[in-house]
Amino acid sequence: MEAVGAVPLAPDARHTSPLRDIAVRMALNEAVRRVALDLVPGMEPEEAAEFLPEVLGDEPFDYTTRFRIIEDRGERPALFVEDPGVEFEYVVVVEAHIDADRVEKRLADAGLLMERSAGAPHRDLRLVVEDIESFAAYTALRETLIDRVGVENYQQSQMG
């Protein structure tokens, strides 16, 4: 997969660190994060930001089998860094090969994955449908939810 790494540049700081290396590390972290998100469907970005660094650690090379820098864009006006106070950033684009099995094992060890044999994950959901015009529409909705989506423990209530 391709991933972008962007390092914010402070206007008054001297850039003594190898910016390219930091940007590559950030791009690889992003690639690992995306693989993890594919393995944990339904995880909200806020949850991912909180749990994934803790679970996966801060060493993306543990999961990277190989990578190459596709483009070294260098210093440029900030586009990827979300901090409004940052005017410039250093950007690289990498092609990364991430070992999804290794990521999956780490996620499973942390209890973020269900057993494959247990089936698809589920969650409680309350769906409120108002102003259905006909019984046929109600029946079609109910059949879709139960037969196609797989809703279980269906409960019907009528509100005034």
Residue type, 133: E
For 91-135, what is each residue's pLDDT tens digit? 999 999 999 999 999 999 888 875 433 445 555 666 777 778 888
pLDDT of amino acid 135: 84
List phi, psi (to 5°) of 42: 90, -5
Is 74:89 a contact under the CB 8 Å cutoff? no
Task: Please answer whether residues 5 and 96 qualify as being in contact, where contact means their C-beta atoms are separated by less than 8 angstroms.
Answer: no
Better-predicted residue by pLDDT, 20 or 138: 20
Q: What are phi and psi of 142, to 5 degrees?
A: -60, -45
Name the average pLDDT for the chain: 82
Contacting residues for 125 by C-beta, under 8 A, at least 6 apart = none
**In this predicted structure, what is the pLDDT of residue 116?**
38
Name the percent of the chain lying above pLDDT 90. Answer: 43
Looking at the domain 2-118, which fold is it? Answer: Thiol Ester Dehydrase; Chain A (3.10.129)
Which among 106, 129, 111, 18 is positioned nearest to 58, based on CA atoms? 106
pLDDT at 69: 96
C-beta separation of 3 from 31 below 8 A: yes
Q: Where are the domains of the chain?
A: 2-118
pTM higher than 0.85: no
d(CA 68, CA 28): 10
Cβ neighbors of 147 (< 8 A, separation 6 or more) are none
| Residue 5 DSSP label | E
| pLDDT for 89 beyond 80 | yes
Distance CA 153, CA 145 (A): 11
The pLDDT tens digits of the residues spanning 33-76 come to: 999 998 887 778 788 888 899 999 989 999 999 999 999 999 99
